[in-house]
């Protein structure tokens, strides 16, 4: 079966089941794992699906946020590489704002390696992690998002505006070829804007698979970000901002 036909069949299957594993798709379409993985990479590159750890996920419509439990299973190895690179950017004694993205959560779990830092975040899980590591943590509180389980809304924003951070780490759903950073959630974007405003330095955590078509709401542009941390070198795709990439 040609790729185009198989890709349409995969999308049709995901539209019915919402999520599928590589093994499940191999059995369904009688092809090897490498073939299915190539198909999923191609479909993810076109923005039609989201890769998860061991499979794929299909959103019901373009503006829908991906549930947190699925995001945490997506690109686990890449997120770990990105988080460890970010750790080198944090100095002892820094105040650090971190958003509630699954990539940034990987960084939160590593912060015990630093001394005397203050973590400020809207991640609902951060307090549980910090209790184990001893990192001083301020969690915003506020309305809880039903998909990301992060704090959003006016209470969370007001809390963030009371603090000044040395550095801010955040992630997005997509970086478009023209440099736009976009997300599906307007409320989470608004909270991230406050983080960027209240921080001296901004760092985008970007999986290379997230370069593609823009999502529902634009957060900012690549020119507005100080640094970009990726699991591999993709600076050649944005030569005018090459110096920003780590």
* pLDDT: which is higher, 198 or 2: 198
The number of C-alpha atoms within 13 Å of 56 and in the hemisphere containing its C-beta is 29
What local confidence, expressed as pLDDT, does residue 119 receive?
A: 97
54 torsion bin: left (phi>0), alpha (psi -120 to 50), beta (else): left
In the chain, what are the domains?
Answer: 3-58 (1.10.10.10), 76-244 (3.40.50.1360)
Between CA 246 and CA 242 the distance in angstroms is 9
At residue 62, the pLDDT reads: 45
pLDDT digits (tens, 9 = 90+) for 218-228: 999 999 999 99
List pLDDT tens digits, range 59-98.
544 444 555 555 555 678 899 999 999 999 999 999 999 9
């Amino acid at each position: 079966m040609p790729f185009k036909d198989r890709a349409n069949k995969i999308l049709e299957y995901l539209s019915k089941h919402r999520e599928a594993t590589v093994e499940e798709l191999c059995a369904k379409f009688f092809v090897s794992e490498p073939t299915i993985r190539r198909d999923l990479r191609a479909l993810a590159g076109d923005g039609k699906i989201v890769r998860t750890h061991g499979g794929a996920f299909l959103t019901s419509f373009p503006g829908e946020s991906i549930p947190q439990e699925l995001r945490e299973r997506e690109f686990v190895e890449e997120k770990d590489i990105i988080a460890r690179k970010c750790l080198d950017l944090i100095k002892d004694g820094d105040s650090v704002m971190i958003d509630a993205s699954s990539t940034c959560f990987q960084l939160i779990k590593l912060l015990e390696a630093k001394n005397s830092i203050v973590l400020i975040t809207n991640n609902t899980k951060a307090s549980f992690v910090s209790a184990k590591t001893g990192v001083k943590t301020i969690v915003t509180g506020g309305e809880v998002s039903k998909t990301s389980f992060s704090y959003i809304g006016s209470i969370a924003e007001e809390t963030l505006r009371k603090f000044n951070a040395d550095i801010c780490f955040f992630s997005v759903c997509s970086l478009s070829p023209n440099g736009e950073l976009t997300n599906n959630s307007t409320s989470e974007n608004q909270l991230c804007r406050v983080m960027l405003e209240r921080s001296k330095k901004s760092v985008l955590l970007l999986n290379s698979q997230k370069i593609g078509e823009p999502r529902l709401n634009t957060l900012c542009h690549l020119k507005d970000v100080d640094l970009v941390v990726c699991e591999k070198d993709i600076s050649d795709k944005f030569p005018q901002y090459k110096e920003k990439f780590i």
